[in-house]
Chain A
Amino acid sequence: MSHHPYVSPIREPLILGADNYHQLTEDIIKPIENKPTKLWWMGFIVSAMVAAFGVFTIGWEIWYGTGTWNLNRTINWGWDITNFVWWIGIGHAGTLISAILLLFRQKWRTGVNRAAEAMTIFAVICAGIYPIFHMGRVWLMFFIMPYPNSRGPLWTNFTSPLLWDVFAISTYFSVSVLFWYLGLLPDLATVRDRAKASWAKKLYTKLSFGWSGEAKHWQRHEAVSLVLAGLSTPLVLSVHTIVSFDFATSVIPGWHTTIFPPYFVAGAIFSGFAMVLTLVLVVRKVMNLENYITLAHIESMNKVIVLTGSIVGVAYITEIVIALFYSANIYEYYAFYNRTFGPYAWSYWGMMTCNVISPQFFWIKKLRRSILFTFFMSIFINIGMWFERFVIIVTSLHRDYLPSSWAYYFPSWVEIGMFCGTLGIFMTSFLLFAKFMPVIALAEVKSILKLANDKHLEKTKLHTDMHGHGVTDSEMKKHIHGMHH
């Protein structure tokens, strides 16, 4: 029933250096108790300033309207929706790590799941900003909810993908928060029990909901975690499927594509893992967690990247093949010809380089285990995946059926400001999280400590070497013979 910890002796250790629970607690909780480092303050101040600028541009947009964006009649979705899809995609890795890898019993997820889940929540917040302010008169936002109103029996359209999105994203956000916070309870209790300052004691007593670690509570906690993982798995797949429906159910050449759902989901996981890597590579360094987020974790994530990157590459090529050889539709031909050789070709080839060609380097083990290379790749992939959404949205729109209305589009300072602003909001939230909450799922790592720490694995490996191999045939026969009698 429950997820039994089992780590094969041939696996790489997931925990280095520590072989007792107390040391684990010390290593993971210390950064919360210590004063923030200079590096933290620098990061915090810079990202808070960028966030503040973002809030200013949002205010500007509310005051003067969406006319402050450079959208036009032809290109009516631009940076805003690109950013929305980009952020939502990034969020997916957190759920994949915490839910899908829990169902697959991947023990390495315990080192990175907490940070990835937090990243999901902040990414979804950033994503939500875009469609909300795209509404223009944002104070009428509540119109998107179906509620009895004085506008006649006027209801939202339940057959529209845009309304599906409202439900999908709000559910995704709220379930992610629940999953993340329930997982945090035992670790917040650890912070509470170690707290010395009275304000910290009070704060963490409230935040930890009075967690005591009683056996029945653990049993319920695990039951709920497992079911939430089971529910989050189809949920996360549905979210990006529905985002892709925003495009796929339209009749715009380049959008009207049935392969969008799996292609978007793979792309989402791809970009999400890249963002998780960007964050954890910094976090492990700044907070001295190299023993808990090890090269084994990084390599595992790079393997997911090479898989999903290849799926995305196959999808790009499939799209072209379908358009050219299967669609029998001149508008489809043109959409893809224009994408690859038209005025926006730079974005298409940027996307191809970053998303299809570069992740293939991760077939090489040495590069999968190189921190510097991984860091650059993670940023590269994030840029590539942003390009992908830009390519899909803008290049499909900018040359429509009527050449007289063809147009080109460049973002205004307000659009760029909002994008930078969400990066700022994301980083500010993440830094605050890393300062006040355990970035590693302490209780979960404790549960695999005995099986996955390096000293233990060294011992079992020795044991296997002595007894596993080098058994002669006659010895084996004798053994089997003995079993029969």
Chain B
Amino acid sequence: MSKKVLLGIFDDEEHLMNAVQPMKDSGAKLHKIYSPFPLHGIDDKIGLKESRLHTAGFCIGLTGFALMFAFITWINVSSWPQTFGGKPHFAMPAWVPVTFEFTVLTSSWGMGLLMLAVSQLWPGVDRHILDPRITDDKFVMTYDLDENNESSVSAALKSNGASEIRIEEIPEGKII
């Protein structure tokens, strides 16, 4: 089933930022906010929790570190022990570079790919672009019309500085 959303389009990020609280007070249930660049301070205003990607990146990096360290240890100590200049087989300082590089590699790619996956961003994703001007100079608040009353939200948007208000139909199966 196709879905309808109401778009409140703003010309400036300040207008949108200032409208967030009064819109909430008017009882409208905000769906999402779209902008051409990151809006600092918006997260607290609309109650977005801090991303947990940092923690994930740390864990992935730690896993990479442990795997590479174990791999080199196994090779140099057990699978192919060789003596260089009478040094011990467990020659940890010499393993630092490779272990470090692998830690960086796993945590960067792990975190990057995870971000793309949880945000549903990949080539061929079936996303409906609400307005082509979002990536140019427009700032947009969307309201799901299944949860909101069209006329009251429109009126609230209008009184809070939206320069344009319109309904966008999302075809079935598409995400926004």
B57 within 8 A of A: yes
B160 CB, min distance to chain A CBs, angstroms: 17
CA distance A223 to B40 in the complex (A): 12
- Whether A158 and B48, one on each chain, are in contact in the complex, defined by CB atoms closer than 8 angstroms, is no
B119 within 8 A of A: yes
A285 within 8 A of B: no
A102 CB, min distance to chain B CBs, angstroms: 13
B24 within 8 A of A: no
By secondary structure, the A interface counts as helix
**Which residues of chain A are near B67, meaning CB under 8 Å?**
none
Closest to B93 in A: A159
B91-122 residues at the A interface, CB under 8 angstroms: 91, 94-95, 97-98, 100-102, 104-105, 107-109, 111-112, 115-116, 118-122
CA distance A333 to B98 in the complex (A): 34
- Whether A21 and B94, one on each chain, are in contact in the complex, defined by CB atoms closer than 8 angstroms, is no
**Which residues of chain A are near B136, meaning CB under 8 Å?**
21-22, 25, 190, 193-194
Closest to A186 in B: B135
Residue in A146, A186, A227 whose Cβ sees the most chain B Cβ within 10 Å: A227
A27 within 8 A of B: no
B129 within 8 A of A: yes
**Which residues of chain A are near B112, meaning CB under 8 Å?**
178, 182, 224, 228
CA distance A103 to B3 in the complex (A): 42
Residue in B35, B76, B109, B119 whose Cβ sees the most chain A Cβ within 10 Å: B119
- Whether B94 and A159, one on each chain, are in contact in the complex, defined by CB atoms closer than 8 angstroms, is yes
A472 within 8 A of B: no
Interface string of B161-176 (1 = CB under 8 A from A): 0000000000000001
**Which residues of chain A are near B84, meaning CB under 8 Å?**
159
A162-202 residues at the B interface, CB under 8 angstroms: 163-164, 167-168, 171, 174-175, 178-179, 182, 185-186, 189-190, 192-194
CA distance A171 to B132 in the complex (A): 36
CA distance A244 to B119 in the complex (A): 40
A446 within 8 A of B: yes
CA distance A223 to B37 in the complex (A): 14
A21 CB, min distance to chain B CBs, angstroms: 4
B62 within 8 A of A: no
CA distance A163 to B102 in the complex (A): 13
B157 CB, min distance to chain A CBs, angstroms: 17
**Which residues of chain B are near A25, meaning CB under 8 Å?**
136-137
- Whether A171 and B105, one on each chain, are in contact in the complex, defined by CB atoms closer than 8 angstroms, is yes
CA distance A174 to B126 in the complex (A): 27
CA distance A86 to B129 in the complex (A): 44
A318 CB, min distance to chain B CBs, angstroms: 24
For B, the interface residue count at a CB cutoff of 8 angstroms equals 62
B130 within 8 A of A: yes
**Which residues of chain A are near B105, meaning CB under 8 Å?**
171, 174-175
- Whether B133 and A444, one on each chain, are in contact in the complex, defined by CB atoms closer than 8 angstroms, is no
B123 within 8 A of A: yes
Q: Answer whether A210 and B120 are a contact pair too, CB < 8 Å, given A153-B80, A164-B98, A238-B97.
A: yes
Q: Answer whether A228 and B134 are a contact pair too, CB < 8 Å, given A153-B80, A213-B35, A221-B38.
A: no
Q: Answer whether A153 and B79 are a contact pair too, CB < 8 Å, given A194-B132, A446-B37.
A: yes
Q: Answer whether A193 and B129 are a contact pair too, CB < 8 Å, given A175-B104, A212-B134, A219-B48.
A: yes
B75 within 8 A of A: yes
A437 CB, min distance to chain B CBs, angstroms: 14
Residue in B36, B50, B80 whose CB lies within 8 Å of A213 = B36
B2 within 8 A of A: no
Residue in B39, B79, B82 whose CB lies within 8 Å of A215 = B39
A235 within 8 A of B: yes
CA distance A228 to B115 in the complex (A): 12
CA distance A123 to B81 in the complex (A): 37
Q: Answer whether A168 and B137 are a contact pair too, CB < 8 Å, given A155-B75, A444-B37.
A: no
Closest to A211 in B: B121
B72 within 8 A of A: yes
A107 CB, min distance to chain B CBs, angstroms: 13
Residue in B32, B91, B102 whose CB lies within 8 Å of A171 = B102
Q: Answer whether A223 and B42 are a contact pair too, CB < 8 Å, given A212-B129, A218-B35.
A: no
A59 within 8 A of B: no
- Whether A219 and B132, one on each chain, are in contact in the complex, defined by CB atoms closer than 8 angstroms, is no
- Whether A4 and B40, one on each chain, are in contact in the complex, defined by CB atoms closer than 8 angstroms, is yes
CA distance A234 to B72 in the complex (A): 22
- Whether B43 and A215, one on each chain, are in contact in the complex, defined by CB atoms closer than 8 angstroms, is yes
CA distance A242 to B96 in the complex (A): 11
- Whether B97 and A164, one on each chain, are in contact in the complex, defined by CB atoms closer than 8 angstroms, is yes
Show 5 residue pairs from A and B whose CB-CB distance is below 8 angstroms, ordered by the A residue. Answer: A163-B98, A167-B102, A171-B102, A224-B112, A231-B107
A192-B135, A234-B100 given; name 17 further pairs at CB < 8 Å: A2-B40, A25-B137, A158-B98, A167-B102, A174-B105, A179-B108, A186-B37, A193-B135, A209-B116, A209-B123, A210-B122, A215-B43, A216-B48, A223-B53, A224-B112, A238-B100, A242-B97
Ranked nearest first, the 7 interchain pairs of A and B with the lowest CB-CB distance are A21-B137, A193-B132, A159-B94, A210-B125, A164-B97, A210-B127, A218-B38
